[in-house]
Structure 1
């Protein structure tokens, strides 16, 4: 009888250990990374892309839906940490925010989670209808873009992160310039006169549509910039992305589809 109990305990121990470790260990110490807001912020911005495809895990390493994961970040007391992986898969796991951590960590991750959840819920929906003209007077409408992959950048002149990524998005545009089934357009808040003066100094290779503040606020309900959209050939939103790094990965995947 004693031998049987020992075997059962050993079995349960290894089962529990496997369940905890089968996804790999955290790539950083979840407690140490919260010592300062700066350390956490650098890690978050460089290592966590909530817009990408990833396997979501709760506190106990149980797989949960991406929507549940993002909701926990938006409304709970958690940070996401990536787990080490040998197969190239992205595993993000929830870890508790420590009681003595800077309160700015929780406030920031709640906002990041809120934005990511809102963007995620837009995926698979029809992009709001529009009919505008770009700076060259060319009409741009939903109908004119059917059957193409559309990349949309939402920005404004005084948005520093928006402008900082100009060289990267321009390079991306050049990379796909021979693909007639891919269009790059941008929605800008500013007037045609302001944009022409600005773009003469800092060129953007996207087709630029001016005076889009109301459309972006009301139809798209954007509250952070830059925001990038990828629309599939059916006019549905494939991805909503907060930066160039996420855009580059998602566009490569959309093209393969």
Structure 2
């Protein structure tokens, strides 16, 4: 009997170790990365892209759905860490936040998780009906955009992260200039007069739709900027993304479909 118990315990330990080793080890020390808000923030912004497709693991290395993973980030007490893997393979695991960790890390992760969860739930749904007129007087509607991939950037003039990525999104437009089936447009909160003055100093290659604050608040229910949408040729939301880095990867994938 005693030997049987020992065998069972050994089996459980080895099974647990296999689950951990099957997916690899963390690329950073999950405890060390929590030492300061700055250390964690730099890692998070450069290494964790919650909008991409990834294998999700809970704190015991059990594979879970992306939806469950994001819900845990939004409502739990975890940080996400990428496990070591091949360059194009993404495995994120939840690690417990330590008792002495700066409380602002947990608060920020919960907010990031909440936004990522909300964005994820929008994917696969129809983009709300629209009839926009851009700064040049061109009318854009759901009907006129059928059969095209639409890339939408939501922003406003005083959003520093929104403006910081202008050079990158402008280059994206240039990179896809030969794709007549891909349209780039932006929704801005500001008035036509404010935008025309601002865009002289900070050009944006997207078409710009003014006075979109109410639409973004009510129809899209946005609470963070910038937010990017990729709408597929059937008018369905393919991806909702928080920054250029995520957008670049997602558009490359969508453009190949």
| Structure 1 residues 222-241: aligned runs within 5 Å | 222-241=222-241
Counterpart in the other structure of 1:185: 185
Q: TM-score, normalised to structure 2's length?
A: 0.96
Q: Deviations over 1:147-186 (max 9, x none)?
A: 0000000000110000000000000000000100000000
Give secondary structure in 1 for the equivalent of 2:190. Answer: coil
Q: Equivalents in 1 of 2:10, 2:75: separation in Å?
A: 38
Structure 2 runs not aligned, ≥5 long: none
Residues 128-154 of structure 1: per-residue CA shift (max 9 Å, x gap): 001011000000111110000000000
For 2:76 and 2:252, locate their aligned partners in 1 and report how far apart those are by CA, in whole Å.
33
Listed as ranges, the matches of 1:119-138 within 5 Å are: 119-138=119-138
Pairing 1:158-197 to 2, within 5 Å after superposition: 158-197=158-197
Q: Aligned-pair distance for 1:99?
A: 0.3
Match of 1:117 in 2: 117
> Unaligned 5+ residue runs, structure 1?
none
- 2:92 paired with 1:92: yes
Mapping for residues 1-257 of structure 1, pairs under 5 Å: 11-86=11-86, 88-257=88-257
**3-state SS of the aligned residue for 1:49?**
coil
- How high is the TM-score relative to the length of structure 1? 0.96
Q: 228-237 vs 1-10, which deviates more?
A: 1-10
Query: Secondary structure, in 3 states, of the residue corresponding to 1:22?
Result: helix
Name the count of aligned residue pairs. Answer: 257
C-alpha distance after superposition, 1:169-215 (max 9, x if no partner): 00000000010000000000111111111111111000100000000
**Following the alignment from structure 1 to structure 2, what is the Cα–Cα distance between the partners of residues 155 and 6?**
61
Shift of 1:21: 1.2
In structure 1, distance between residues paired with 2:45 and 2:176: 27
Cα-Cα RMSD: 1.6
Q: Distance in 1 between matches of 2:245 and 2:87?
A: 21
Distance of aligned partners of 1:111 and 1:8 in 2 relative to their CA distance in 1, 3 Å threshold: closer
Distance 2:189 2:217 in 1: 10
For residues 14 and 102 of structure 2, the distance between their equivalents in structure 1, rounded to whole angstroms, comes to 37
